[in-house]
Structure 1
Amino acid sequence: MIELDLPDLQGNIHRPYGRFGFPHSRHLFFTIADAAAGRLFVQGIRPRITTAEPWGKSEAGGTGPILLRKPPITLNIGFTYLGLRALDLPTRTLRLLPDEFIDGMGCRADILGDVEGSAPRHWDPVWHAHLDGSVRPVHVWVSLNVGANPDGTPLPELALWTTWLQELAAKSNGGVALLAGHGADGQGLWQDSAALMEPGPDGTMVPQPKEPFGFTDGISDPVFRGQFQADAEARAVIGAGKIAEGPYDPKTSWKALETGEFILGQVDEGQEFPVATEPSGFARNGTFMVWRKLRQDVPGFEAEMRRQAALWKQVTGISDDVEAYEIVSAKLVGRWRSGIPLLAAPSWADHQRLMDEWADCIDPALCKPRDDVKHQERLAAFARLRTGFRYGDDPDGAKCPFGAHIRRANPRDMLDPLLSDTHGASTLTNRRRILRRGLPYADPDGERGVIMMAICSSIFRQFEFIQQQWMSYGLDFDAGNDTCPLTGNRAESSKHVIPAGPANATPFIAANLPEFVTTRGGDYFFVPSLTAIRMIAMGTVDPT
């Protein structure tokens, strides 16, 4: 069992805050004009950085003392390549950093499929530094995640800590500055995001794990070695880890991924230590993060699903509008809005049956108290239903189309050349998993979407490969140049093929799909360990 150095890891690597009672997030971006002032700024922030230390016995696996009380607010920090250079890190350390990180996300737009409506010229003004020399570049990212009041508004700590960060930057006399430029009008001083809220049984606003299109999100985050105690890991890996080779058993074939896929200084799936930079102590326990603001055209998605549903009714003979709408939507995503996968419920009738069977795990109004042991076991069983499946049970895409969003994002065992009961997930898949963080946003101008943060040891091998090869190109899924029907651009293709299956006797082609998701900005960040942050603040990074 790997023992992670949790006090040295930043907390946002180890836990998705949205699932731990922090439904509000604020992202602030700073630029550094003076290295000494920048180091003082980092030093001022360092004592408040949230680590990965457990907040209670439940997180620690039920054993040992409670190390920390759960805070009302969290803080984490990351740096772009230009930010590390602005802090005067040694040339040897800078030049050994990965090429894609040095380039930054804006310079790799074509690789990522950020073209046409997603091209950098359409991004929020804060990200225009490489397009317009008059805009100061983003150097430092600071995120605040906070709990909610009963009415769903953020706790007062969010405003207090925001003011503190502004004052800390102001003390530098121009050496560090908070960057404006968020939103279409460029007036925002920061980017807010928040979970969607619905009233609970007592009227208190309850965060929902939904994205703006209405689908349950954040279901299949990878599980890596050392993330949980042994007993908890055995439960968590089902559907979230990797599938081991050999005869498939849904309870024993799932294994945790190697830690080095997500945390530097640990062994990865290639049984190697990921290449980062020198000194090794600077990179160890750090990672890389992709920060992306993704706009979702909610009215456009709903209108297109209604159009496709009308065509679906003509082809299949289904008469119910709601059923047709939900089927077509699920066939694009690979899951129903409840999060139940098509592999578990291929038809609308199957889904309705499972919705009734698991209503107490889906509807907050029916949920029993959190300390009800039997109900917790039910929730765990429902989680396995939503994640514990393999595509070896659907080799022809009759249940879940080959090009569906979740099949592209995590192909599981689909890319195994044999796709049989005696083989597991391929190394190709195991080496391209990412930790997903983030929450939905709703800007003042009405724009909606998600702030997506992808955490991985290699931006090139993991995030960029998924985005370029699996989301923006479909050959691995026998879909030619068809892009992801949910998040892909339509520069080369605008169709999604739904093979014949339980809901349709003949194939159905969802043609002329518009773009539902467009990029509104972002960059690549290094998220250092607490040790590395101390090195940065003290100016003691020594690669010799």
Structure 2
Amino acid sequence: MTTLELADIQGNIYRPYGRFGFPFTRHLFFHVSDAAAGRAFVDAVRARVTTAEPWYASEDASGTRIVAKPPVTLNIGFSFMGLHALALPTRTLRLMPDEFVDGMGCRAAILGDAGGSAPDHWDPIWREPEHPVHIWISLNVGATPDGTPLPVLDEWTAWLERLAADAVTLIGGHGANGTGRWQDSAAIMETAPDGTRRAAAREHFGFTDGISDPVFRGQFDDPAAEKLAAIGGGKLATGTYDAATSWSALEAGEFILGQPDEGQQLPVATQPAMFARNGTFMVWRKLKQDIAAWDTDMAAKAALWQAVNPGTSAEEAGETVRAKIVGRWRNGIPLIAAPTWAEYRGLDDEYAACIAIALRKPRDSAEAQRLAKFNLLMTGFRYGEDRDGAKCPIGAHIRRANPRDMLDPKLSATVGASTLTNRRRILRRGLPYEDAGGEKGIVFMAICSSLFRQFEFIQQQWMNYGLDFDAGNDACPLIGNRTLSDKHVIPAGAGTAPFIAAGLPEFVQTRGGEYFFLPSLTALRMIAMGTVDPT
């Protein structure tokens, strides 16, 4: 078992807060104009940074496990210009990765941020060259019974505002009109049977979100729990495929610096090694979702689907086209498990109670087994059985985001390993947002040890280019740009022409973002004290 130094690792690396009862996040961005004042600010914030240490757990009289979570979590990151503004040594700065030094705006061409996603269209905060973003701080809180954020969110926001002196400025400029002082994001809330409001795990296009995040060594104390969690989220072993035994956790170094990665190397970010150790890099991107364009285009594609599939209902056509674009049905069931509407409806009925079971504690053994079987259905699949994309189109969103075994040159019924995919995984964080002007989207965050090898490769090669998937210039039909192609091919049965979803608009557009370094608690102390010594 890999043992991680959890007290030195920031908590948002280790756990996605949204799945642990924190449906609200506030992102605050700061500019530093004096290094000493900036270090004092970091020192004051450092004491409240949430680490990856386990939260205290106990049991009540009924045997229900109670976890004493903090009322609010706080995490912090720095852009390259932020580290420069804090007067880190030149040697430490110049050894940082090129893409981090460049910053996201300078990498627009690589990321496909063109047309409506070009930096000229980003929120005003990201278009202020005289006052660039230096520090990112996130606050995550739970919800009241009426579905609003706990008051502690505003209390900690006010504390940070007071803490920022003249030389450390809270930067506004969020939203299309630039009036937002910070960027809020939150889970979509729904009404529970008892009348209270609770978080729903879905995004604004209506799909269940946050499925099959990577699992890495050291996330679980219990080897059996790690093995179970790794199904669909880990890496595949070579040999005869078995969903319960072929998966294992990825190496921690893919996501945390100073740990061995899948290449059995220690990723090098900068010097001294202790400064980089237990830290990592984070992608922060605000992605606008064009709901109206999505709904209009899906209705048009559904009508065409009905025309070439006589007898298909409007509901079946609409849901099928959506699923063939994403790779999952809206409730998360993958096309690999249910490639047709009839099969999907059968599985949906069979596992309808699992959402309620997942929300209920304690669970009896039968419920626990049923939930485990459902989770296996949702994540424990591969593409070796669907090489031609008849079940899940090769260019579908989830197939591009995580090709699993699809790119293995030896792909067959018995070979499932894919080193190429294992080196391209990212931890996905973030929640939906809705700005004051009505704009909706997702604040997307990705955590990885190498921005270039992991995030940028996925974005450039898999999302905005189709050659790896034998799809020519076709981009991801969900989030890809349409510079070179605006179509998505949906294979049909043998001897039947494929369905071409042509004329796809850009459903998702970038509205800003940056690359951040998330230091360890040790590195935060170095920054605050001004004692980063690269010798």
State TM-score, norm by structure 2: 0.97
- The match for 1:91 is 90
1:92 aligned counterpart, secondary structure = helix
Please say if residues 318 and 324 of structure 1, whose CA atoms lie closer than 8 Å, have aligned partners that are also in contact.
no
- The match for 2:453 is 461
Deviation readout 1:112-158 (Å, 9 max, x if unpaired): 000000000000000013xxx4x400000000000000010000000
1:57 Cα shift?
Answer: 4.6
> Match of 2:529, as an amino acid?
M
1:382 to 362, 367, 374: 374
Q: Distance in 2 between matches of 1:497 and 1:387?
A: 24
- The match for 1:536 is 527
- The match for 1:507 is 498
**Is residue 32 of structure 1 aligned with residue 32 of structure 2?**
yes
Q: Distance in 2 between matches of 1:514 and 1:324?
A: 19
- The match for 2:239 is 246
Please say if residues 384 and 416 of structure 2, whose CA atoms lie closer than 8 Å, have aligned partners that are also in contact.
no
Please say if residues 368 and 375 of structure 1, whose CA atoms lie closer than 8 Å, have aligned partners that are also in contact.
no
Q: Distance in 2 between matches of 1:202 and 1:367?
A: 17
Please say if residues 30 and 140 of structure 1, whose CA atoms lie closer than 8 Å, have aligned partners that are also in contact.
yes
2:298 aligned counterpart, secondary structure = helix
- The match for 1:18 is 18
Structure 1, gaps ≥5 residues long: 59-64
- The match for 1:522 is 513
- The match for 1:78 is 77
Structure 1 244/138 Cα, relative in aligned 2: closer, same or farther at 3 Å?
Answer: same
Point out the more displaced range, 223-232 or 35-44.
Answer: 223-232
1:153 to 148, 156, 177: 148
**Is residue 408 of structure 1 aligned with residue 407 of structure 2?**
no
2:31 aligned counterpart, secondary structure = strand
Please say if residues 28 and 143 of structure 1, whose CA atoms lie closer than 8 Å, have aligned partners that are also in contact.
yes
Deviation readout 1:169-226 (Å, 9 max, x if unpaired): 0xx2x21000010000111110000000111111111101101000001101000011
1:422 Cα shift?
Answer: 2.9
> Match of 1:95, as an amino acid?
R
- The match for 1:393 is 385
Q: Distance in 2 between matches of 1:18 and 1:114?
A: 27
1:270 to 239, 263, 267: 263
- The match for 2:61 is none
> Match of 2:21, as an amino acid?
G
1:421 Cα shift?
Answer: 3.0
Q: Distance in 1 between matches of 2:310 and 2:417?
A: 37
Deviation readout 1:211-269 (Å, 9 max, x if unpaired): 10000011010000111121110110111101011221111110111110000000001
Q: Distance in 1 between matches of 2:414 and 2:392?
A: 21
1:225 to 217, 222, 233: 217
**Is residue 45 of structure 1 aligned with residue 45 of structure 2?**
yes
1:505 Cα shift?
Answer: 4.4
Q: How do residues 80-159 of structure 1 correspond to structure 2 at under 5 angstroms?
A: 80-129=79-128, 133=129, 135-159=130-154
1:377 Cα shift?
Answer: 3.0
- The match for 2:330 is 337
- The match for 1:69 is 68
Q: Distance in 1 between matches of 2:171 and 2:371?
A: 43
Q: Distance in 2 between matches of 1:56 and 1:354?
A: 37
Please say if residues 57 and 68 of structure 2, whose CA atoms lie closer than 8 Å, have aligned partners that are also in contact.
no
> Match of 1:528, as an amino acid?
P
2:189 aligned counterpart, secondary structure = strand
- The match for 1:61 is none
1:393 Cα shift?
Answer: 1.2
Q: How do residues 173-192 of structure 1 correspond to structure 2 at under 5 angstroms?
A: 174-192=166-184
State TM-score, norm by structure 1: 0.95
Q: Distance in 1 between matches of 2:88 and 2:312?
A: 65
**Is residue 477 of structure 1 aligned with residue 477 of structure 2?**
no
Q: Distance in 1 between matches of 2:5 and 2:235?
A: 23
1:426 Cα shift?
Answer: 1.5
Q: Distance in 1 between matches of 2:398 and 2:206?
A: 15
Runs of 4 or more consecutive aligned structure 1 residues displaced over 6 Å after TM superposition: none
> Match of 1:466, as an amino acid?
I
1:392 aligned counterpart, secondary structure = coil
State, as a whole percentage, how many aligned pairs show the same letter: 68
1:417 Cα shift?
Answer: 1.1
Point out the more displaced range, 196-205 or 288-297.
Answer: 196-205
Deviation readout 1:346-385 (Å, 9 max, x if unpaired): 10011111111001113x4x76731013323322221111
- The match for 2:62 is none
Point out the more displaced range, 221-230 or 49-58.
Answer: 49-58
Point out the more displaced range, 370-379 or 183-192.
Answer: 370-379
Structure 2, gaps ≥5 residues long: 59-64
> Match of 1:438, as an amino acid?
G
Deviation readout 1:286-336 (Å, 9 max, x if unpaired): 000000000000111011000000001111114311110000000000000
1:512 aligned counterpart, secondary structure = coil
> Match of 1:97, as an amino acid?
M
Q: Distance in 1 between matches of 2:493 and 2:220?
A: 38
Please say if residues 414 and 425 of structure 1, whose CA atoms lie closer than 8 Å, have aligned partners that are also in contact.
no
Q: Distance in 2 between matches of 1:281 and 1:90?
A: 14
- The match for 2:279 is 286
Provide the aligned length of Structure 1 versus Structure 2: 528
2:47 aligned counterpart, secondary structure = helix
- The match for 1:195 is 187
- The match for 1:211 is 203
- The match for 1:259 is 252
> Match of 2:93, as an amino acid?
L
2:513 aligned counterpart, secondary structure = strand
Q: How do residues 295-314 of structure 1 correspond to structure 2 at under 5 angstroms?
A: 295-314=288-307
Q: Distance in 2 between matches of 1:281 and 1:543?
A: 9
> Match of 2:77, as an amino acid?
G
